[in-house]
Amino acid sequence: MTSSTRADALRRMTRRQLSHAILPGIAFVAIAALFALTDLDRTLARAWAFDATLGVFPARGAWWSTNLLHDGGRHLIWAIWLATIGTYAASFINVDWRVYRRPALFTFVAIALATLTVNVLKALSNVDCPWDLAEFGGALPYVPFFADRPNELPFAACFPGSHSSSGFALVAFYFALRERWPRAARVALLSGLAVGAVFAFAQEARGAHFLSHDLWSGFIVWFVELGLYSGSFGGQLWPQPQRSPSLSYARLASARVARASRVV
């Protein structure tokens, strides 16, 4: 892509995708503040996921949450991710698939980068899982996210939600499709959000995460993939249609005739 083409793509991105950053950004700040300033996370966990009588999360060892949606979901995302790099590789063999090379590469990188970002943040955050807290059957005291964590507590790595991020990462297909098939892109967007939400539901039911963990995960994935699409890929994954020389000549001739008639 030439410098002028990249500049044109960035201008299109600025015009058409401003809402992709501003509206989610406002929503993210509002939601993050809500959960940081209230006990909504623990209130919701006690209300629907935790059995106070038994002192456990009943779904923690359930087949549907552990084997199906956690382990099976992870395998599904791996299969989809490998299919994207397979499509990219195939584009070098089959000339008819060359048009899919750039969208496939973007999708492969976007899924990997988004989930990697969440996993790195999770490894550094030092935030406990619900099932580790004393009020939910564990042994540790609750420490608010922005509070100073006592040094004597063990290091924790439970924020943001890693598993849900792999589902939300499928939103990459929205960016991959939006230039060529807008309706399919909207379906891909809703599908990615739905898969991420289902994965989040399973993890929260098990006591592995609070709701805010997965909401942060979804927003992080969105901004990482939006940044990759708009920045590194210039907001353009598909080749632009070539203008017909004859059509361009006809327009030029028509413009000259129009200017001549105004002079006369």
List, for residues 67-124, the tens digit of each pLDDT value. 999 999 999 999 999 999 999 999 999 999 999 999 999 999 999 999 999 999 999 9
Residue range 1-27: average pLDDT? 70
Q: Please name the residue that has the structure tokens 């899919």.
A: 100
Q: Please report, as a single letter, which amino acid is at residue 44.
A: L
The pLDDT of residue 52 is above 70 = yes
Cα–Cα distance, 240 to 243 (Å, whole number):
9
Residue range 20-24: average pLDDT? 92
Domain ranges of the chain: 17-144+153-240
Cα–Cα distance, 208 to 57 (Å, whole number):
9
In this structure, the dihedral spanned by the alpha carbons of residues 222, 79, 76 and 164, taken in order and rounded to 10 degrees, is: -20
pLDDT for residue 241: 67
* Tokens read off for 52: 């106070």
Cα–Cα distance, 235 to 10 (Å, whole number):
7
**Long-range contacts, 65-72 (Cβ 8 Å, 24+):** 65/202, 65/203, 65/205, 65/206, 66/206, 69/198, 69/199, 69/201, 69/202, 70/163, 70/199, 70/202, 70/203, 70/206
Q: What is the pLDDT of residues 241-255, one digit of tens each?
A: 665 544 444 455 565
Cis peptide before 182 (omega within 30 of 0): no
In this structure, the dihedral spanned by the alpha carbons of residues 148, 153, 158 and 159, taken in order and rounded to 10 degrees, is: 10
Cα–Cα distance, 249 to 129 (Å, whole number):
66
